[in-house]
Amino acid sequence: MRHINVLLAGLYLIGAAQPTASGAAEVRARAVIIPETKAVFGQVQSRTVVPARARIGGTVREIRISEGSEVKEGQVVAVIVDDKIALELAAAQAKIDALKSQLKNARIELERAQQLLQRGVTAQSRFDQAKTQFDVIVNQMAAAEADKSVIEQRAREGEVLAPATGRVLTVPVTEGTVLLPGEEIARIATGRYYLRLSLPERHAAEIVEGATVTIGQRGLSPTKSGSVETAREGRIAKVYPEIASGRVIADVEVSGIGDYFVNERTLVWIPVGKRKVIAVPTAAVRTRQGIDYIRIAIAQGEQDVPVILGETFSDSEEEPLVEVMTGLRDGDRVILP
């Protein structure tokens, strides 16, 4: 575990091995201060989760995604149909057709009035009236075509688009569902994944931004998560100042966390304090009939002492070390095999 290694790098944990009268190597156990870690479960979260919403009301005709699908920004994820839009389009087209007929007649009347005016057999007011009628119908035609364009745009908005690139988390609707404008079609995780920790309030003082934590592999079982010795490193990116229900919330950034499961839990070992331990090389431990022993030198010679072992760690310049919880004292002469 790297954060333990850093603290141990400058400490004389165990004296240099010295040969005993029998020729075996001998070291002295020394009490040192190491970080105390707490194993908690962190939940995988996405930086941002955005909804894909319906832009019009209607009935869901088609859903083109499912939970877990990857989507690109602007991709059509569902189609909503409002049957009234088809009727409105038909009415708009009928109005345009009627105005086209009126426009054709108005153009003929205007051309006739212009010819009569040139011959001098009609008044200027008659020509002006025909031209005004023609202009009115032209403007009505433009307004009707604009109204039809608005209806066509509403029909196109029945296609629900992905607001950003990401992975679909939930699709709370099915085909045939009736929706109102603005209702949610899908939730899409679009941001970078990170771990969120929820720790007891008593550890608030020991949690700081930038601190290093160790993270197990994916999965809840110890066989899948691994041990603290084989865990990956992460960094506390943010500690939230508000304590809710006696819990401190912190975010941890870690590489290789994946991009599929959200709310997946994994083991995280986080430093919450320091403690004094007595440690010896793992080679000093002998196990007989399920009981661990360490041989020490005493005035009368050598003696095997039963011990209870704790955490195992290592220094980059030393062999693996094991914490001795009971059975040894600071300064005991440990005989290596």
Per residue in 28-39, pLDDT tens?
A: 777 777 777 777
How far apart are alpha carbons 12 and 14 in whole angstroms? 6
pLDDT-wise least confident of 75-89, 101-115, 219-233, 300-314: 219-233
Q: Judge whether 49 and 169 are in contact, CB under 8 Å.
A: yes
- Is the sign of the CA dihedral 190, 254, 217, 324 positive or negative? negative
pTM comes to 0.58
Confidence of residue 203 (pLDDT cuts 50, 70, 90): confident
Task: Find, among 296, 303, 300, the residue nearest to 330 by Cα.
Answer: 296
Between 335 and 95, the more confident residue is: 95
At residue 311, φ and ψ (nearest 5 deg) are -75, 145
pLDDT value for 14:
41
How far apart are alpha carbons 215 and 236 in whole angstroms? 11
Q: Is the pLDDT of residue 324 over 90?
A: no
Confidence of residue 3 (pLDDT cuts 50, 70, 90): very low
Domain ranges in the chain with CATH number 2.40.30.170: 2-47+192-335
Quickly list H helices, the chain.
2-8, 83-119, 124-156, 222-225
Cα 51 versus chain centre, distance: 14
Q: Is the pLDDT of residue 145 over 90?
A: yes
Contact partners, residue 21, CB within 8 Å, separation at least 6: none
The CATH number given to 83-157 is 1.10.287
pLDDT value for 10:
35
pLDDT-wise least confident of 22-26, 28-32, 171-175, 266-270: 22-26
pLDDT value for 186:
94
How far apart are alpha carbons 74 and 72 in whole angstroms? 6
Report the SS3 class of residue 236: strand
What would the pLDDT profile of 19-73 be if each residue is shown by its tens digit?
A: 555 556 778 777 777 777 777 888 888 888 999 999 999 999 999 999 988 999 9
pLDDT value for 213:
83
246: left (phi over 0), alpha (psi -120 to 50) or beta: left
How far apart are alpha carbons 33 and 7 in whole angstroms? 8
Domain ranges in the chain with CATH number 1.10.287: 83-157
Q: Judge whether 266 and 215 are in contact, CB under 8 Å.
A: yes
Confidence of residue 224 (pLDDT cuts 50, 70, 90): low
- State how far the alpha carbon of 181 is from the alpha carbons of 52, 57, 152, in Å: 12, 5, 17
**Domain 2-47+192-335 coded CATH 2.40.30.170:** yes
Contact partners, residue 40, CB within 8 Å, separation at least 6: 197, 198, 199, 267, 268, 270
Task: Find, among 83, 75, 93, the residue nearest to 56 by Cα.
Answer: 83
Q: Is the pLDDT of residue 146 over 90?
A: yes
